[in-house]
A and B are shown apart, each in its own frame.
Chain A
Amino acid sequence: MLYFAIIMPVFLIYPYMIWMIIIVGILSQISIFMLSKWFNSMYASKGYEGFVELFGERMVRLIAFIGIGFIFLKVIVIILGYIEVVQHFIFPSVNTNWMLLFILLICWYVASLGMPNTIRFIVIAFLCTAWMLLLLLKIPFKPFTTIHDLFPLIPYEWTMKSWKGVLFIWSAFSGPEYLVLLAPWFNKREKILKYMTIGNTFTIFEYLFLFIASLFFFGSHYLGKNKLPVMEMIRYLQSPMFERIDIILISVYLFHFVFAISIFLLLFYGATRITLKKSKDQTTRLGFALCCAIFFICIMMSNELLWKKATNQNILLELEIWAGAFTYLFVPLLLFISLKRKGHS
């Protein structure tokens, strides 16, 4: 997950968590395998109708209603997390609600262009941001790095904090479960397992790289004291043209956030329509704008009441760690079991 990639090293801290990233990544592959079974089934192409055939209309409406909460929580955390980064590194005195409004307006525009266009936007987002990772490549080869920063690779003790780290990693791998909602727009579902496996492998390497780079840069003792270690690390990058290129990199990272939030806005609109029994009616721009407005008000309230007041422990972040882990575990499992049961019957 986008925001989790930035804060991940704070939750892992100890070098032996490298193994946990690999193990959880392999476990994530099981979820992906279960999801691919869904994509290859006849229900996937039918979209809403497919879910109704599998679970029944009442159940689908109930799931959609619960899903709204999960979508809300996810968007709140990623958008407020990003705004926090912007506030910390670019505009220290900015009113975060204004920033929230600007970002949501962009997402509203992107999402209003339709689901196919929004899905296709990921190619642009990827190409515009993939090069950023290359900038960090030289950090492990800096003169101050020592191999001792990666020790101990075997844990001396296993505490609750370590378990929380595992939970965090699992939650950070979450996200593919929402792809089941986009299935009708995918035209090559036969090869989806291959594509998702590539994506999962890429994520494992990305998390490993960011964590190892952070360990080299800060060392495990100092890593826990940073709130946003990856961003702090980027801050030290130099270029002959500009100082503080972190400002550019954080701004470029917005591409991914806009893509993700736009997709979630459309999913939220869809889930609301299903919950209100309006799924058969024509979608309207006004209805979508109304959903975006509700989204903005709710996120603004969460920002004012919960996010800004959080000091040591951010309740929204804690909830999202659990919620992400929950959905990534149970959504593929539920679909897999339902498919098996339907197959037998």
Chain B
Amino acid sequence: MSSETISHGHAAEASVHSHDSHEAHGHDHHHEESFLTKYVFSTDHKMIGKQFLITGIIWAIIGGLFSVLFRLQLGYPETSFPVLEDLFGKWAAGGRISNEFYYALVTMHGTILVFFVLTAGLSGTFANILIPLQIGARDMASGFLNMLSYWFFFLASVVMFASLFIQTGPASGGWTVYPPLSALGQASEGSKLGMDFWLISMALFIVSSLLGGLNYISTILNLRTKGMSMTRMPLTMWAIFFTAVLGVLSFPVLLSGAVLLLFDRNLGTSFFLSEIVVKGEILPNEGGSAILFQHLFWFLGHPEVYIILLPALGMVSEILSVNSRKPIFGYLAMVGSLFAICILAFLVWAHHMFVTGLNPFLGAFFVLLTLLIAVPSAIKVFNWLTTLWKGNIRFTPGMLFSIGFISLFISGGLTGIFLGNSTLDIHLHDTYFVVAHFHIVMGVASFFGMFAGVYHWFPKMYGRFLNNTMAYIHFWVTMVGAYLIFWPMHYAGLAGMPRRYTDWSNWQSFNQFQDMNRFISTVAMIVFAVQILFVFNFFYSIFKGRKVTSTNPWGANTLEWTTPINPGHGNWPGDIPEVHRWPYDYGKDGRDFIPQVEPIGADESKH
């Protein structure tokens, strides 16, 4: 009896809910939204996505600028730039970047780019904008949690940004914040207040990405429109789904590490601190284990790499198929390989710790599991190439960035096979080879995925196109520049040149690379300038770009192109469309494309 009332209550509530949203969103032109509810405390997934994107762009400029500053130091270690002293005062006394400043710059560059740009800026943006549009939902499962997710990110951003202006500087022990360096204020300037700000900011950031991730998972699993089975979802949705699962399961572990580190820093506990003497002072701590932190950190840290990469994989798959005018090759293999990467992501963290004294026997298993990632990755590359093969390719900017992504994914992936071997890692560990590897495969490749996504979905976001000329300049300079910057680093790394040094001019083995370093720095500055061109293009096109005149400018099959050019809150003015087929019917039965909403014809087989 009672269970009957419950189910009755459910059904009643559900129907009221859908009725409500129809009423409120279907006729949203009738009631005016205030500036505050529309642009600031918005619960509309599209606006939240744009908020993530623009905040991410601001962070990317800051993080990129930091890399230009430290490249200036690496390229011209002997030269004095008085303007730096004017700008940064004691941090660049005599026009030279001080050691503390250099470490602060690389730490913040890593933190900002990994977390604030490529996690929040990338999956925050595209998960929000694309999930409801591509699965056919009015909004996220909880618009309120979604709004909270952005504002926690905003708070995290404020705290991190504030830490840049602390007298003792921001955190500077590397983005991995290994204790004991990060745990002891006595150990370095950056381990003082800046480190507490870093940890608080990261805690807020973790809350933000958990709230976001919960919503993404629950929306994808529960709010798909009629006919949108899991296997009819675009690959972007699968990728974002797995990204969210990775985030929800791995970020809490980082949070536990951060909490214990906060204890060690502020309450004098000894989780990560063993018997230590700093500057002649014997510390009371005993019995802690610094390696314990590395385990906790990399249990997040490695999945984090895939949190960054998977959305790019998904978007690239979609954009390649649309612009090759061909179905994606091996849809289920693509989903399966995403799943495999997702599982393996949790089983390989110790490959970051091969030289920490890890048992070599244990290391062998991590080598095996790490190398196994090559299998799903190769499947994906094969499927992208076969999707391109004999395609009717349209070289739109989004397509160019997607093809560029494949190139970078291959180059960066191959060096991963080197680094995944624990024996080779003894030599390559902490050299520029590592820097080159992860910048290409995680940094630049994911950026390419993000650019591809921005160019492809900009018409949906703002109802205008980005300027093509600037886009092509952006692509070619970035593509060539990425290789010119990171390719030479492999050689320096193989020669043993270590990371994290400010100056090699007095180091006989490595000062031979001085010219190469200067070259890399020069290219880095040019590439940075071109990114500024992209940012200009982005903001210019929001207001002045060529207007989109048809609802489906790319001739794509997915649901977001069935909405009006500038969809309101609720996305579809009438009923949500029903889905009848998978999203990759391109060039089928003599037709260029068949949207997902078109019913299966009489002489068609079901997909």
Task: State whether these chains interact.
Answer: no
Interface residues of A (CB under 8 A from B): none
